[in-house]
Amino acid sequence: MNQILDLIKAQSPRYLLRILMLSVFEVVVIVLLFFLTKPYFASYQVFWYLLCLIMVPACACSVAVNGLTKIASQVMVQAKHLNITITDTNNEKLVTSAWQYISWKKVLVMVSCGVLIALCYSESAKSFTDLLVLFIAIIIATFACANWVIINASVPMSVAVYKSYLVRRRVSNDTKTIDHCIRFHLLPWAGIASATLLTFFVKYYLGLADESGYVETGYVIGSSYISGVFVAVWLWLEVGQMARLDHILGRIHLAGIGHVTGSEAFSLIMFVPIGLVMFLAAFNGFFDIESYRYQTAIIMSVLLTLLCALTGVSVAILKLCASRTLKKQPLKEVVDR
Amino acid sequence: MQQEGNELTNLGGKNSVVFSRWSLYIAVFGLIGALVLMLDSAPYENITQDFTTDHSNRSGALIMPTKVSSPRGLMIFVHGDGAMGRSAFGYYYPLWQRLAKEGIASYSWDKAGVGGSEGNWLEQNMQSRANEILDVVIMLRKQPRFKDIPIGLIGFSQAGWVMPKALKESSELSFAVFVSTPINWLKQSEFLTQTRLKRAGITGKSKSEKMKHAQDVSKLIAEGAKYDTYLDFLERTAPNAVESAMNKSRYQFVQKNINVDSELELREIHQPLFVAFGNHDVNINVANNAAHFERIFTQNPAQLKLKTYQNADHTLLKNSEFGHLTPSLWWLIKVSLWEEDGFSERFVDDVMSWLNLQITKLSQHAQ
């Protein structure tokens, strides 16, 4: 009997519930964000199609990465507890980042799933009921795609993580850590966050431009700030959780970082978006810019979102590397947190 | 425990995908169910329905609303210039969809020689196109579901010379929507020449000369000159224009229709009209045509509802989004994606309100 496989199977009910709840949560949060934004239900058709194309792959990847990391972490803790050993401890090409199990082919399938939903919605009566069915379809598609990725990757990733744990050494220096963080945390999460927020900006600014022909800079600053904070907090929490595994495996290690408290990290997360929008406001004031075309407004807001994503990821990594608890507490407690 | 390690290196095969597959299957079936539910709510059914006109078959589409047991009215779509299929490259889809939601059926057909239709649209004149409409009305009225409901027309651009003829000749037609329709072919042609010269930056004496030349060409065509004579004339008077000269089929089509002017027919019709123009239309002289429509209906202003929409081009699509695009694959994709939102603000809503009003009036009158 293969004990590692049993450990992974034992995760099944919990991870299924987890990814289902995560799928519902992510989609519902985004949907509420859209519903509470102008111009309410009477928004552009193009927006709903864009939403399907972006939301399904973005949410599915996010949920899959979360689920895979959680499964691998739990398996690692329990395997350590049961003292399971592996003779083949060759750690070359050990793939321990969940992102590496999401191939372009899989993303293409997810996008196709989004296209299919968009096409069906396009053919529907587009009533309010259809809108609800659309979101249910997006939730199911998110769950199915994430589940598909997890089913295919949970075993190889869990094995790789456990092997990597058995041979772990503090090999990472600052440069390798930064490369790792950019490649496996900043780029994928910033991509997902900006793509998701792009759909929001398209809806919001198109609605405003439709009303008055342009978008006032005040609206751009306000919405950029709110979405910037949203993205920064989201990535801070998400990456903070995902990167713990990398830290335990020795993939992330930054030297010379003092202690960073939760409130300090939170203040930093709140301050950077304020600083960015103040800069934008000063820029607008200096050049007497009172309004933007909606395309310019979208570009500006997406750029600010990317910078806020960078902030969220950076703060999460800094906080993690500065954490004393990780160094002191036993493995089980650290991963279970 | 050591043996476990050896087995671990072989993982990733069948075992890796065995467990929890059931949840994936359930999710996939759930997704299919949701999509079928969405599709099932589509507001219309597209039924192929052909008719015969002048011994020639025309292939068309009857768009039946699915949300009502029987339609409240029926709109016949009349194409503008060019080789148009029944959906005008997807331009009609948003309108069909909205009409179906309002419980109104639609009918449109492939122009002669296009898609499944026989013949050649370039061999038609405006009267033969109007005859097609009359034949469609006869074909539809034979069906019990359309026996007693009001039938209207909605036409675009060149349809402005077709619809008045049909409206005048058939009392079965109850109302009509004219979208970016000119009244006089020669004046329309003159406006197009002016627009072309303006775009080319030609002004002053040179512009006057070119305008005079265009008038001479129109006169030549209207007098019935043969195609070779037309080419000879261009060769003599404007050798540079020979390359862009009309081909023989187009020339003959223009010659058949160059004298059309719908004013007289418009004066004689009794059906109410909704006339819509776009303020960014570069194909027709909106100000002149709008004033012309108002003059024609001075005696009976209630018969005419005329509106010029802002940020709208010749197709009544939003000029800011579609004005800079030439008909291309991207234009089609964009129209498909934007659907009803692609049209100028309020245009579709106004048309629907007006149609609903007409249908209600007719049903009250019938009672």
Task: State mean pLDDT over B340-347.
Answer: 90
Residue A157 pLDDT > 70, yes or no?
yes
Residue A190 pLDDT > 70, yes or no?
yes
* Partner A contacted by B43 (CB < 8 A): yes
Report d(CA B233, CA B236) in Å as an integer. Answer: 5
Does B19 contact A9 at a Cβ distance shorter than 8 Å? yes
Cis peptide upstream of residue A156 (ω within 30 degrees of 0): no
pLDDT tens digit sequence for A28-54: 888 777 777 765 555 566 777 878 888
Write the DSSP symbol of residue A84: -
For residue A257, what pLDDT is reported? 67
Report d(CA B134, CA B175) in Å as an integer. Answer: 14
Does A147 contact B30 at a Cβ distance shorter than 8 Å? no
- pLDDT classification of A286: cutoffs 50, 70, 90: confident
Amino acid identity at A296: T
Which residue of A126, A134, A167 is the best one to mutate when testing the B interface, meaning the one whose CB has the most B CBs within 10 A?
A126
A45 CB neighbours in chain B (<8 A) are 337-341
Beta strands B104-109; B173-179: pairing state? unpaired
Closest residue in chain B to residue A17, using alpha carbons only: B23
For residue B297, what pLDDT is reported? 95
Task: State mean pLDDT over A247-273.
Answer: 80
Q: Please name the residues between 127 and 166 in chain A that touch chain B, using a CB distance below 8 Å.
A: 127, 129-130, 133-134, 136-137, 140-141, 143-144, 147-148, 151-152, 154-156, 159, 163
- pLDDT classification of B261: cutoffs 50, 70, 90: very high
Does B1 contact A85 at a Cβ distance shorter than 8 Å? yes
Query: Radius of gyration of chain B from Cα atoms?
Result: 26
Please give the angle made by the CA atoms of A42, A44 and A48, to the nearest 5 degrees.
100
Residue A322 pLDDT > 70, yes or no?
yes
Closest residue in chain A to residue B97, using alpha carbons only: A125
pLDDT tens digit sequence for A236-248: 988 888 888 888 8
Q: Nearest-CA distance from B43 to chain A in Å?
A: 5
Total residue count of chain B as it appears in this document: 367
Q: Nearest-CA distance from B34 to chain A in Å?
A: 6
For chain B, give the longest Cα–Cα distance.
102
Task: State mean pLDDT over A248-262.
Answer: 74
Burial A122-131 (b: 16+ CB within 10 A, else e): bbbbbeeebb
Picking from A117, A144, A156, the nearest residue to B16 by CB comes out as A156
Contacts made by residues A180-188, CB under 8 angstroms, sequence distance 24+: A180/A246, A180/A251, A180/A252, A181/A243, A181/A252, A181/A313, A181/A317, A184/A97, A184/A99, A184/A100, A184/A246, A185/A239, A185/A242, A185/A243, A185/A313, A185/A316, A185/A317, A186/A309, A186/A310, A186/A313, A188/A61, A188/A65, A188/A99
Residue B16 pLDDT > 80, yes or no?
no
Helices within A124-186 (DSSP H only): 128-166, 174-181
- For the four alpha carbons of A133, A135, A136 and A140, in that order, the dihedral sign comes to positive
Picking from A5, A144, A210, the nearest residue to B27 by CB comes out as A144
A125 versus A187: the higher-pLDDT residue is A187
C-beta separation of A228 from A273 below 8 A: yes
Picking from A122, A151, A163, the nearest residue to B21 by CB comes out as A151
Does A121 contact B4 at a Cβ distance shorter than 8 Å? no
Please give the angle made by the CA atoms of A107, A109 and A114, to the nearest 5 degrees.
95
Task: State mean pLDDT over B34-42.
Answer: 81
Closest residue in chain B to residue A84, using alpha carbons only: B1
Q: Nearest-CA distance from A322 to chain B in Å?
A: 35
* Residue A248: C-alpha distances to residues A77, A186, A243 (Å): 11, 19, 9
Domain residue limits, chain B: 1-41, 43-183+264-366, 186-257
Report d(CA A331, CA B127) in Å as an integer. Answer: 87
Picking from B6, B16, B38, the nearest residue to A124 by CB comes out as B38
pLDDT tens digit sequence for B191-241: 999 888 888 888 888 888 889 999 999 999 999 999 999 999 999 988 887
Does A156 contact B11 at a Cβ distance shorter than 8 Å? yes
Picking from B7, B23, B35, the nearest residue to A137 by CB comes out as B35
| CB within 8 Å of B43: residues ≥ 6 apart | A125, B65, B66, B67, B97, B100, B101
| CB within 8 Å of A141: residues ≥ 6 apart | A56, A60, A110, A113, A114, A117, B31
Most confident of A154-158, A257-261, A263-267, A306-310: A306-310
**Bridge partners of residue B60, in order along the sequence:** B109
C-beta separation of B47 from B71 below 8 A: no
Average pLDDT, chain B: 88
For residue B9, what pLDDT is reported? 38
Fold of B43-183+264-366: Rossmann fold (3.40.50)
Helix (H) or strand (E) holding B44: strand B44-48
Residue B44 pLDDT > 90, yes or no?
no
| CB within 8 Å of B146: residues ≥ 6 apart | B71, B74, B105, B140
The tokens for A44 are: 């552009």
- pLDDT classification of B149: cutoffs 50, 70, 90: very high
CB atoms within 10 A of CB B197: 17
